[in-house]
Amino acid sequence: MKTIDEINEKIKQGKALVVTAEEIIDLVKEKGVKKATQEVDVVTTGTFGPMCSSGAYFNIGHSKPRIKLGGGRTYLNDVLAYPGLAAVDLFLGANALPDDDPRNRVHPGEFNYGGGNVIEELVAGKDIRLTATAYGTDCYPRKKLETWINIKDLNEVVLFNIRNAYQNYNVAVNLSDKTIYTYMGVLKPHLGNANYCSAGQLSPLQNDPHYKTIGIGTKIFLGGGVGYVAWQGTQHNPNVLRSENGVPKRGAGTLAVIGDLKQMSPKWLVGTSMFGYGCTITVGVGVPIPILSEEILRYTAVTDDDIWAPIVDYSDAYPNQKPDILGEVSYAQLKSGSIAVQGKKVPTGSLSSYLRAVEIANILKEWILSGQFLLTEPVALLPGVESGVTFKPLKERPLET
Amino acid sequence: MAISKRIVLHFPRRLVEQPVIYRLVKDYNLEFNILKASITAEPEEEGLMVLELKGEQEEYDNGINFLLKTGVKIQSLSQDFTRNEERCTHCGACITICPPGAFELDPETRQVKFVDEKCVACGLCIKACPPRAMEVHF
Ligand code: SF4
Ligand code: SF4
């Protein structure tokens, strides 16, 4: 048994052994769990994929004369930002669109530019066009504001993603006879392709399936900079079907993450367009896992063969909230290039970049080895299986009876 | 030596109505396959055709010379669909979308390679690529 303090001490002395969640697999095979636990201090994870429920809030500072944007309308490069918090605090969501975007009026819409792209340009240091109207008050008399803004001049600029790093995810297919355009990509008819979106064996929560080390306050790699786990993500659902190894076979846990956007990079926050669906952002997240016990080490040695995902029909089962699945496949099968569904060989494609996930795990490893990144003790753990937390569907109650 | 190449032809307005392609077959013994054809209205009317051209090297070269003399502008296809390497995240969303399989996943490095010689200029990857890394230049 080790403590996080002891591990930090070793990091400071340059004596810590840090490996990625990919490297740990062979290391455990070679040395066994006991020896590996003694030797390894930290295992780094990573994931880089389109992640909705991402956004940024910022304070633009007060104009002269003052304007109260709350209750008015504010746009950043024509994309709607939410001003309803106060006078000059804004929240920009990755899915937000310009008012004049044609959306799906001609289906499938292109969704070339949205909130995710604004965040990417903001973090890249580009000037952003702010246009706003307000209703005016005695203390905030101004009713109109049009100005360029730049990240370096803003006050707080904070990336705050309320649901990222899904522990596991559906494999999307299309059983219908026409192409469909989904947040899981373009799905060709009659099981023409299967799309998945997870880093599998490198994915943060797959390496800590029962949330034994990752909790509120955990310091992480976020968007190329340093961030923290703020809370469990929305839709966090520990009580799903799990394999014997504890690894969820369905969506399960999520993370809400936060960090100073000013120290992040556009390489790891990429504006993303899902054809026929909308705009979002591809986010890089990496979480270090302290090897405190043999149990925790065993979890980090999980391989793509041991992680299973459900195959879901996005032409009917998904949109209509039907529980049916078409089977389960392992990430090893998904990564082989094709899977079998209903007796048919279906080619697979990924929305999440494994190459970049490896890069994140390695960057985090370098940060820790260089002594600049110490681990944090979570102030509270995320709700686990024992919490009874589940993800409930909407209970609709008609307004008129 | 027989060769097969994919090219993009830009026809100036005055040639749009001329039987240029027919001459390629008749006078130069070339086989063709039209992959895409359109006439753009702006700024001035221009015809655009993506063609797969097959034949003997010598006749192919003569055919291309003939086209150039008539005033058709020619580009080779591999230059027209390019990947912005900075934007590509190597996710792999394009792999199952591309009809001729121009995107290949290297199982070792997990890199997605774009093999532009295989590209038939269908355009499907342009919008199916989530970070919009694929670009077309006509
Ligand atoms: S879909 Fe786009 S970003 Fe992804 S691998 Fe293909 S070209 Fe690169
Ligand atoms: S344009 Fe069509 S053929 Fe060429 S790479 Fe894109 S999807 Fe493949």
A326 belongs to a structural domain: no
Q: Is the pLDDT of residue A164 over 60?
A: yes
Integer Cα distance of A327 and A341 in angstroms: 7
Class of domain B2-79: alpha beta
Q: Of the bound ligands, which one is closest to the alpha carbon of residue B125?
A: 2
Collect all residues with Cβ–Cβ distance below 8 Å to B56 and sequence separation of at least 6: B1, B2, B3, B29
For range A182-187, the mean pLDDT: 98
Q: Would you place residue A383 in the very low, low, confident or very high pLDDT band (cuts 50, 70, 90)?
A: very high
Q: Is the pLDDT of residue B77 over 80?
A: no
How many domains does the structure of chain A reveal? 1
Across the interface, of B97, B130, B132, the residue whose CB is closest to A50 is B130
What local confidence, expressed as pLDDT, does residue B35 receive?
A: 85
**Test site for ligand 1: of B81, B103, B109, most ligand atoms within 8 A of the Cβ:** B103
Three-state DSSP class for residue B7 = strand
Share of chain A above pLDDT 70, in %: 100
**337-396 of A, contacting B, C-beta below 8 A:** 337, 347-356, 358
Token output for A392: 């409930």
Distance from A246 to chain B by nearest Cα, in Å? 27
What local confidence, expressed as pLDDT, does residue B61 receive?
A: 85
What is the length of chain A?
401
**Least confident residue range of A74-88, B83-97, B106-120:** B106-120
Burial class (CB in 10 A: 0-12, 13-18, 19+), A23: middle
Share of chain B above pLDDT 70, in %: 93
Domain residues for A72? 55-159
The domain segmentation of chain B, as residue ranges, is 2-79, 82-136
pLDDT, tens digit (0-9, with 9 covering 90-100), for A293-340: 999 999 999 999 999 999 999 999 999 999 999 999 999 999 999 999
Q: Is the pLDDT of residue B78 over 70?
A: no
What local confidence, expressed as pLDDT, does residue A107 receive?
A: 96
A71 belongs to a structural domain: yes
**Cβ–Cβ gap B97/A350 under 8 Å:** no
CATH of segment(s) B82-136: 3.30.70.20
What local confidence, expressed as pLDDT, does residue B44 receive?
A: 61
What local confidence, expressed as pLDDT, does residue A387 receive?
A: 96
Q: Would you place residue B45 in the very low, low, confident or very high pLDDT band (cuts 50, 70, 90)?
A: low
Average pLDDT, chain B: 86
For range B9-26, the mean pLDDT: 84
**Chain B residues within an 8 Å CB radius of A192:** 96
The DSSP letter of residue B57 is H
Three-state DSSP class for residue B74 = strand
Q: Is the pLDDT of residue B39 over 80?
A: no
Q: Could you tell me which of A259, A282, A271 has the C-alpha nearest to residue A158?
A: A259
Distance A243 CA to ligand 2 centre (A): 39
Ligand 1: which residue has its CA nearest to atom 3? B88
Q: Is the pLDDT of residue A75 over 60?
A: yes
A136 belongs to a structural domain: yes
A309 belongs to a structural domain: no
Q: Is the pLDDT of residue B138 over 60?
A: no
Across the interface, of A48, A274, A337, the residue whose CB is closest to B89 is A48
Which of B87, B88, B132, B135 should be substituted to probe chain A, the one whose Cβ sees the most A Cβ atoms within 10 Å?
B132
Across the beta sheet with A79-81, the strand order is: A79-81, A73-76, A128-133, A144-149
pLDDT, tens digit (0-9, with 9 covering 90-100), for A8-53: 999 999 999 999 999 999 999 999 999 999 999 999 999 999 999 9
Q: Could you tell me which of A91, A110, A81, A96 has the C-alpha nearest to residue A280?
A: A96
Token output for A28: 């455990």
A123 belongs to a structural domain: yes
Q: Would you place residue B123 in the very low, low, confident or very high pLDDT band (cuts 50, 70, 90)?
A: confident
**Cβ–Cβ gap B89/A185 under 8 Å:** no
A230 belongs to a structural domain: no
Collect all residues with Cβ–Cβ distance below 8 Å to A99 and sequence separation of at least 6: A75, A78, A80
A114 belongs to a structural domain: yes
What local confidence, expressed as pLDDT, does residue B119 receive?
A: 87
The reply to whether B2-79 and B82-136 are identical in fold is yes
A279 belongs to a structural domain: no
Q: Is the pLDDT of residue B75 over 60?
A: yes
Q: Is the pLDDT of residue A252 over 70?
A: yes
